[in-house]
Structure 1
Amino acid sequence: MQKHSSSQTRQHLEKHKAILDQRRRELQTRLQAIEHDFVQPRNPDDDDRATERNNDEVLEELGEAGQKELLAVQAALDRIQAGTFGTCVKCGRPISERRLDAVPHTPFCQSCAQSI
């Protein structure tokens, strides 16, 4: 495995922090929009209300998924702050840059993620 210099490591952290900050903003915006949709007045028509209820179920699932991802993103930002970002929380080995590029908020290396 290639050793990274301190400036390379700092660049990788800054890159991932920027990606995670952007994703956090996107998720917060999406969750606010979902919340806004839930408080909108309902249609008095029975058929339209049935459609709205179905839409609400989808929005609720999207909201739950978004909240889970937001928590994972915040945890990754906390690991950056703590100096532990890029280290698997299960085994303590480094998480590959390729994996972090694919899933920047992952707390697990590929091996540990597969075993969960």
Structure 2
Amino acid sequence: MNRRDALLALQREYRGRAEAIRRDLGRGHSADFAEQAQQRQNDEVLEALQAEAELGLDLVNRALQRLADGNYGLCLKCAEPISEARLNAMPAAEYCLRCATLN
């Protein structure tokens, strides 16, 4: 799979995840007070997961823009190439390993 296809697959995954969480958060709550308390705790977890999915989607969208601009795979901090191994593991990586560990 090429980089663009990998990024598009990640984009679909994050979008799907965020949409599913939005649907779950949009459902009503029980009239039972004890159950409402549990549902509100679950909502907090879902909100954190939604934020994570939206952050991932943002990272992927920025990587797709860098790909379109012709500077995908270059560290945003030092402008050196990001290793193939790192890009294989994290296609939306913005920083080389050295700069990522310094942040």
TM-score normalized with structure 2 length: 0.96
User: Could you tell me how far 1:101 is from its partner in structure 2?
Assistant: 0.7
TM-score normalized with structure 1 length: 0.85
1:18 aligns with 5
2:93 aligns with 106
| CA deviation string 1:56-91 (max 9, x = no partner) | 000000011111111001000000000000111111
How many residues are treated as equivalent by the alignment?
Answer: 103
2:43 corresponds to 1:56? yes
2:84 corresponds to 1:97? yes
Aligned equivalents of 1:39, 1:114: Cα separation in 2:
38
What is the alpha-carbon root mean square deviation over aligned residues?
A: 1.0
- Name which of 65, 90, 96 aligns with 2:52: 65
**Which runs of 4 or more aligned residues in structure 1 lie more than 6 Å from their structure 2 counterparts after TM superposition?**
none
Task: Give SS of 2:44's match.
Answer: helix
Aligned equivalents of 1:49, 1:39: Cα separation in 2:
14
- The aligned amino acid for 2:82 is I
Unaligned runs of 5+ in 2: none
Aligned equivalents of 1:33, 1:63: Cα separation in 2:
9
Task: Give SS of 2:59's match.
Answer: helix
- The aligned amino acid for 1:18 is D
- The aligned amino acid for 1:88 is C
| CA deviation string 1:40-64 (max 9, x = no partner) | 1111111111110010000000011
1:67-82 matches, within 5 Å, as 67-82=54-69
